[in-house]
Amino acid sequence: MSLFSHICERIDKNYVDIKDKKIIVFPYGKGGCVLENALGCYGLAADLIIDNFQKSENKEIKKFDTLAHIDPAVCVLLIASDSEAAVNSIETFLESIQSSIKIIHLFETKEEKLERLRLEKEQEKLRLEKEQEREKIRLEREERERIRLEREEEKERLHLEASRKGFIKRLMKAIEEKLTDTQKKYRDQLLKKINDGTYCYEETKCLCGASEDEIIGKRDIHGLPVQNVICRQCGLVRINPRITQESYNQYYDDEFRYINLQFAEEYRLIHSWFVGRKRGDAFLDFIAADIEKWDKNILILDIGCGSGGMLYEFKIQGYQNTLGIDMDSSCVTYGRNKGMNLSCVSSRDLSWTESHQYDLVILSHVFEHFLDIKSELEVISYLLKPGGYLFISTPGRFGYERYRGVYNIFDGSVFRFGHTYGFSLEILSDIMAVNGFELVRGNQEIMALFQYTGVSVPIQGNCDHYEQSLDYMFYSFMPWNKAHKEYIKYIKFIRDMDLSQPAFLYGTSEETEQFMICCKLLKGKLNIRLFDRDAKPGDVVMGVPVEQPNKSMFQKDIIVFDNIDEPCQELLHDYQANIIWLSEKLA
């Protein structure tokens, strides 16, 4: 408040005591001048100005002693100063002459100021108490909302967990039914070794050096506990944690061949032979454009050759200088009996005696079993002639349509206990490039031919590989049944829409719930709102509230299944909604 306004307020408050009296103003200074102006606003004027310390050429200023000669009954003294010394000086003088003149302080007195400060302090205290009470109420409301949301999330989590457990139970039952007695025996033996610590585990880092991973599977195709992760930086899939090299060596000696044995032992070697021949035939078709340029006398080495069936296909084509190596002595013996040049020796041991000799090295379904890829490729580069070729065949992450599995949340998979890495062609090419191998040709199955250049190219982590791998694995591994295949189509369709505004989905049927489960698997990427004409307060589907329809909803497209009844269709028609029938859209 300005000084003028403050003085006017005090005059207004004391106007009755002022209006009919002779007005004496003290002092003449700034406060006195403002007081004169304020009096003018009320039609009043100062009759006398007193001040022992101020002089003016324009106004007549009287000394204090003038007050001794006036009648106090007809006068009023207006003090317009907050100076304690000035106020004391005039009050002391009035006491000295025993004057009873009425005094009106237009500025706060010391007592008034103290009282005002006391009141302000009390008001501030009350304000803070009210504010604290409001904050307490707000925090209690937030806490209640937090508890409500936690309960809803827990309810949703339990629902998903129940769905996951039910699925796992069905999955494990299906796996159990497919396993032979021999497979069950050695699977249980492997589980026992894992549980009692015979097989030791170790943490692994991605080959690109990044440490941020996402879990994409916790079980292998035989129901064994295998945690596969995908690198968010480059998209490489690997087992983490995995058992150590020493444990893997024991696993390959004791359980590997039997867990993967789908028929009687006496047919295993025959199966290995014909599988090798089939892969060899496919390889020859794959390199048909290159093989015409190759001399029939080139040296070929097949690492992990099994019974040698793959090399037999080369032998038929006239390639006689072949060698196959495998650590399974029974497979090697079987292949030798078929006239194949096979040896039970490791590639590392072979490199000590036969360095830089081979024109072509074959790794058929071996590469995915390596633990130390860099070290293994160093051995292979030592075995190859300069400019030699390396053929790799391995299960490709983008070539799994033939498998049935479920990605991530349902915890099933197409992974295998011995497959330490999983590749796409692009990721494999990056890994090979950093180890001095250049891609000649390849596909996503994976069948890939590389040439050894010895020139290392650094890995460039590509987040697109990560996104593409997640999308592919989700869409390929999710559809265990016909219904889920339809839901995946729906999600693909909706994900291509503009989701800056919500997508409205009509109905609360079981189909809707299954559809929302699929949406949840996309980790919240879909902005879905549900509505139904029979919705009641509190109705939710997979944590999404179900709303009563209103006209504001129908400004956008409405997505519906093809099984809604006629009353529902009439309701949508009345609102002139633009209906998207998914069954027609995806036909």
pLDDT at 373: 93
State the pTM of this model.
0.58
SS3 assignment, position 564: coil
Encoded tokens for 274: 């014909």
Q: How far apart are CA 242 and CA 165, in angstroms?
A: 24
User: Which residue ranges of the chain lie beneath pLDDT 70?
Assistant: 1, 57-58, 109, 160, 163-168, 171, 262-266, 398-414, 459-503, 508-511, 513-527, 541-543, 551-565, 568, 572, 575-587
Which CATH superfamily includes the segment(s) 268-403+423-460? Vaccinia Virus protein VP39 (3.40.50.150)
Q: Give the E-state strand segments of 285-436 in sequence order.
A: 300-303, 322-325, 342-343, 358-364, 384-393, 421-422
488-585: same fold as 268-403+423-460?
Answer: yes
Q: DSSP letter for 58, please.
A: S
- Phi and psi (nearest 5°) for 351? -65, -20
Task: Map tokens 């009425």 to a residue.
Answer: 102
The amino acid occupying position 168 is: I
Q: DSSP letter for 549, please.
A: P
pLDDT at 243: 93
| Segments making up each domain of the chain, as ranges | 3-107, 268-403+423-460, 488-585
pLDDT at 366: 93
Quickly list H helices, 255-354.
257-259, 268-286, 288-291, 309-316, 329-337, 347-351
Task: Map tokens 């007050």 to a residue.
Answer: 67
Q: How far apart are CA 420 and CA 239, in angstroms?
A: 5
Q: How far apart are CA 219 and CA 416, in angstroms?
A: 8
Neighbour-count burial of 85, counting CB atoms closer than 10 A to its CB (0-12 exposed, 13-18 middle, 19+ buried): exposed
| Whether domain 488-585 has CATH 1.10.10 | no
Q: How far apart are CA 435 and CA 381, in angstroms?
A: 9
Q: DSSP letter for 255, please.
A: I
Q: How far is CA 132 from CA 37, 118, 136, 139, in A?
A: 45, 21, 6, 10
Q: How far apart are CA 342 and CA 322, in angstroms?
A: 9
pLDDT at 369: 93
The answer to whether 84 touches 109, Cβ cutoff 8 Å, is: no
Q: Which CATH number fits domain 3-107: 3.30.565.10, 3.40.50.150, 3.40.50.360, 3.40.50.20?
A: 3.40.50.20
The amino acid occupying position 286 is: F
pLDDT at 482: 46
pLDDT at 489: 61
Cβ neighbors of 428 (< 8 A, separation 6 or more) are 392, 394, 442, 446, 448
Q: How far apart are CA 572 and CA 579, in angstroms?
A: 8
pLDDT at 26: 86
